[in-house]
Amino acid sequence: MRLMYKAKCVLTVAFCAFVLLFIAYFTPMSVRYLEGFLPMSRCPQAPAEKLKLGNSIDASLDLWSRGDVQTCTDWGAPVIWDGMFDPDHYDQEHRKNHSSVSLTVFAVGRYLDAYLKAFLLSAERHFMEALPVTYYVFTDVPERVPDIHLGPGRSLKIVRVQRHSRWQDISMMRMRAIADAIESRIRHHSHYVFCFDVDQVFVGRFGSEALGDSVALLHAYYYHRPQSLYAYERNPRSRAYMETGDFYYHAAVFGGSWRTVKNMTETCYQTIMKDKENQVEALWHDESHLNKYLWIHKPSKVLSPEYCWDRNIGYRGDIHVVRLLWSEKKYGTLRVTET
């Protein structure tokens, strides 16, 4: 009996150890950690070759300073990582060119109170510090926009937008609002436009090295995954449908020259409305349509996940700095239907 009891105890301990190991190795956090060991592709350019860059400032990029990551695309666009650029050189050249930037952000409903102040304060510390910046805050409650002290050459404009009952509609309709603002206001004073989600904070330099004619961001959750696992729209009835692509881009950050961003947002809005006519809604809404656009119209510059990171992913050896950080998501309280 005593032997059977000991054997039972050993089996119980072994089973518990197995369960703990299973939890440790197969929870989402562990899977994300293991994904970091999957190698990225490498820059297809030979070391002696030059990228065919439309922006002469980008000729100073050192593509070979980061042998652990992909530093350029198949079509010759740079992928920007820490260690590839001289920030002072970029700022000096853009000041010589009198570059100016508009930043658009949507703070509708409860999102304004939850995130906008922290977003703007952090942007004042870290976003395009060397250049003139105009913030465009799109909101349904202009009177609740916080009063932020802005530095020299910085200004803030408020654009009233309609409140939608579904957060999905808010997300998708921002494309039209951005295009309208570019046409009526932004194009008259800014060379570049960057579009951001509000539920994030700047924690490091997000500077002029990010500027380009068409700028996309590698999604932090997908840049190490095989393409078969990308979250492309798989419904053939949607205008956002994709069988294959280049990367999976994150709609939390995108930008470029005002002309390019206007075309980008207008096109995405048109394809969203075509889907609505056909009673179709893409899985990831405006992000699905943005990925389709950027597959057809290749970006001239791609930002690494340093430029929009989530600490919940855990440690990644290729992330040397973090420049923009996801805020804590409060979907349960913020994405409820508002009346």
Q: Is 199 annotated as a binding residue?
A: yes
Q: Is 233 annotated as a binding residue?
A: no
Q: Is 198 annotated as a binding residue?
A: yes
CA distance 230 to 280: 20
Q: Is 107 annotated as a binding residue?
A: yes
DSSP string covering 181-196, please?
Answer: HHHHTGGGT-SEEEEE
Q: Is 310 annotated as a binding residue?
A: yes
Residue with tokens 């820059």: 43
Two tokens, residue 238:
């949607």
* Residue from 287, 306, 328, 338 carrying the catalytic annotation: 287
Two tokens, residue 21:
């190991």
Q: Are strands 253-257 and 214-217 parallel, antiparallel or unpaired?
A: antiparallel
In order of 99, 174, 278, 283, 311, the CA distances from 272 in angstroms are 32, 11, 10, 12, 31
Q: Is 287 annotated as a binding residue?
A: yes
Q: What are phi and psi of 323, to 5 degrees?
A: -110, -35
CA distance 241 to 247: 15
Q: Is 106 annotated as a binding residue?
A: yes
Q: Is 287 a catalytic residue?
A: yes
Contact 256, 178 (CB under 8 A): no
Q: Is 197 annotated as a binding residue?
A: yes
Q: Tell me how many degrees the CA angle 271-297-173 measures, rounded to the nearest 5.
A: 30
Q: Which residues are catalytic?
A: 287
Binding residues for UDP-N-acetyl-alpha-D-galactosamine: 106-108, 111, 197-199
Binding residues for Mn(2+): 197, 199
Binding residues: 106-108, 111, 197-199, 219, 287, 310
